[in-house]
Amino acid sequence: MERHTRQRDAVLTALSDSRRSLTPQEICEFAQRSVPRLSLSTVYRQLKSLLEDGEIVGVDLPGQATRYEALCESDHGEPDHHHHHFHCGDCGRVFPIHGCPGRMEDLAPKGFLVQRHDLTLHGRCADCAGTHSRAGSSPGSRHRRQPTSKGARPKDQKTAGR
């Protein structure tokens, strides 16, 4: 049963404005912009209700908690949720890929019946790829900052004067 509340609307707005899959924690952070006292447990309750009402879908990636996203529209303005995903291994964000490579049934072994499919590309998003190319990092390096111990000097100061 659909019931419009400020909390429900804030969760839906967070999902539709983000244009990507979000974790419950990310949804809570975005939704708190309009409902500051919104709790994570309320977000979970709203997600459950929105899933039951068919207004959102869950996105499952192996080894990760479920993310959520708003329903998409087709090129004709009709609800059409079939799309795939790109998972950035650096920042962890998941982005929709609209379009499909085609008949996945042709890839199945002979005699197998494909009921549905999902495809996730893994790599580095534009933001993270840009960070690496600006910083001159190698393609295999990570851009997350490594913790330094208190009082540690930058690398160039340690080697200066040697």
Residues placed in the known binding site for Fe cation? 82, 117
**d(C-alpha 151, C-alpha 1), whole Å:** 57
The continuous run of DSSP H or E covering 52 comes out as helix 40-52
- Can you say which residues are annotated as belonging to the binding site for Zn(2+)? 88, 91, 125, 128
- Can you say which residues are annotated as belonging to the binding site? 82, 88, 91, 117, 125, 128
Instruction: Tell me the backbone φ, ψ of residue 142, rounded to 5 degrees.
Output: -100, 150
| Degrees to nearest 5, angle at CA 24 with 16 and 50 | 55
**d(C-alpha 129, C-alpha 147), whole Å:** 21
DSSP letter, residue 91:
T
